[in-house]
Amino acid sequence: GGGGGGGGDDDDAAGRQPETAAMMRWSRATNLTAALNFHEGALVANYPWDGTDDGKTRYSRAPDDPAFRRMASAYASAHRGRMIPATAELSIARKSRRPNEERFKGGITNGAAWYPLWGGMQDWHYIVTGTMALTIEVNEVKWPEVRELERLWREHAPAMLATALVACAKSVSGVVVDAVTRAPISGPGVVLTIEPRGEGGAEGAAMPFSTLNGTGQYARPCAAGKVRVRASAPGYEPAVGEGEASDEKGAVVSLALMPRARGEAAAAVAAAAARG
């Protein structure tokens, strides 16, 4: 799985701790658009990939890197504490006191650029279930006192909501239907991708994803700007649609797929008409 080091035995729940196996089963059964995992020991919004192919500490770009950076920045910007401002903190990675802004520009970090690890939940979620997950380091102190919990909730609650809005309401969503019957098209065979737009649009090829079970609906975090979505399904001609996502509203890109036999017949009629 890219630089994430996922797949293979990493997808096997056998022999895992009960709570880990339960989370793996639940995640596979629940089509999540995005997720936040919480951890302590620093103050930063961490995004994939967490691992590198060569084991070195360096930036490891995921296919949806622009969307991940947008989600992480939304969290950091809405945090009501010190996630972005430059304030002294204890660096668990280097055991030295450094400003948060110096360590984590904008309050965010690529996981592997901070320190690489393999088998982490955010990479597994992304590879196995298609869920776009961030790991939120909520506090510099690894084991905060009980009296600190209310403060931490007040600081992080607005950031949780802001990230959910960007991921689901200010990105791209729509429905995939049969162009003839207008029935929703769902299931593992449905493949959607956000295609590169180049200048002013999403960067690079993104990870494929699918529609929600039985509804034909989808929602996918994306970078702000022009977005182009491609949908395909067994027995149908592919379709492409475009929209634009911004910090004010998301793009709605619904797609109607033509059944392949009917599409082939229509193409033959069009070709005959063109021949005159």
Residues annotated as catalytic are 137
SS (H, E, C) the chain: CCCCCCCHHHHCCCCCCHHHHHHHHHHHHCCCCEEEEEECCEEEEEECCCCCCCCCCCCCCCCCHHHHHHHHHHHHHHCCCCCCCCCEEECCCCCCEEEHHHHCHHHEEEHHHHCCCCCCHHHHHHHHHCCEEEEEEEECCCCCCHHHHHHHHHHHHHHHHHHHHHHHHCCEEEEEEECCCCCECCCCCCEEEEECCCCCECCCCCCCECCCCCCCEEEECCCCEEEEEEEECCCECCEEEEEEECCCCCEECCEEECEHHHHHHHHHHHHHHHHC
